[in-house]
Amino acid sequence: MPVLHNRINNNALRAQVQADNIARTTVSFYKYFTLNDPQQARDTLYSAFTALGVLGRIYLAREGINAQISVPTANLEALRATIYQFDPHLDGLRLNIALDDDGKSFWVLRMKVRERIVADGIDDPTFDASAVGEYLDAAAVNALAEDPDTLFVDMRNHYEYEVGHFENALEVPADTFREQLPKAVEMLAPHRDKNIVMYCTGGIRCEKASAWMRHNGFNKVYHIEGGIIEYARKAREQGLPVRFTGKNFVFDQRMGERISDEIIAHCHQCGARCDTHTNCANTGCHLLFIQCPACAAKYQGCCSERCRDALALPQEARHRAGHDTGERIFNKSRGALDTLRGGVAPRRR
């Protein structure tokens, strides 16, 4: 029986990918559809994707598939054919090709079966995730952006919104998608007569969010086809103004794709204009935060002096050598970043 999981050390795999001269392309895709046997689908796709040299992260559930991967560029069309032939629901599926990419975004293939491909916290048997809002292409997005009766709603996390978003878009203040959904309904209740345009990185969150808004009585609900990635690609191809400002955060080694030249975020340590995310070099902290080059040198890639000093400790002693760590360990929450910023000047838009 073929091996259906990785057996090689992650560090060795990362070094191997970095040293490899094979051109690779970063791709993301998703589809909501009924998958009767997610485990069997996982094992079949794992074998097929391994043979094509695919690396990345793929989640499968009874509600569908969600993938962020890279593939040798020479195998891109073979990958497309494999996906299209796997299930009739995937035939013709749009693949989002990364905008700012060197192909080194992943170094291992991880494929997992989950309860949901996006954790939404919805426990309502009458909810139909397929009853989504109307898709918008790039031209339609720009047209609605000019309409004063339109609200753009960002369905991403705070750290994604911070480095880039559509002009005048609303941020839904929550740390998780499951928290965002009820908050979005509450926030937008006074605006039921407006056009509601929901967006996210590649489309998977805003598509489900649009269905949830419709389920809660909103009628003029839209979502951007292919999310920010596809919008920016099509707008550039068609010579349209790009209404997204800043950087698009992505969940791989790149941590961001440059959409516009504007830098709208600031270093969380000194307040200098910067939109480069990093993880604290103290593995016992690993906090995701924004750090400018000067602070990266000063703190040796750490979020604080205490974490910097912890780098001199044995590995096993680092795990509680950060701040008053507690819930901040591996934390991407708003509260953890507020603690880090401390006296730093508030973020400017």
Q: Is 200 annotated in the active site? A: yes
Copy the structure tokens of residue 14. Answer: 């990362």
Q: Which of 200, 274, 302, 307 is catalytic?
A: 200
Three-class secondary structure assignment of the chain: CCCCCCCCCHHHHHHHHHHCCCCEEEEEEEEECCCCCHHHHHHHHHHHHHHCCCEEEEEEECCEEEEEEEEEHHHHHHHHHHHHHHCHHHCCCCCEECCCCCCCCCCCEEEEECCCCCCCCCCCCCCCCCCCCEEECHHHHHHHHCCCCEEEEECCCHHHHHHEEECCCEECCCCCHHHHHHHHHHHHHHHCCCEEEEECCCCHHHHHHHHHHHHCCCCCEEEECCHHHHHHHHHHHCCCCCCEEEEECCCCCCCCEECCCCCCCECCCCCCECCCEEECCCCCCCCEEECCHHHHHHHCCCCCHHHHHHCCCCHHHCCCCCCCCHHHCCCCCHHHHHHHHCCCCCCCC
CA-CA distances (angstroms) from residue 197 to 42, 146, 152, 254?
33, 12, 5, 27
The catalytic residues are 200
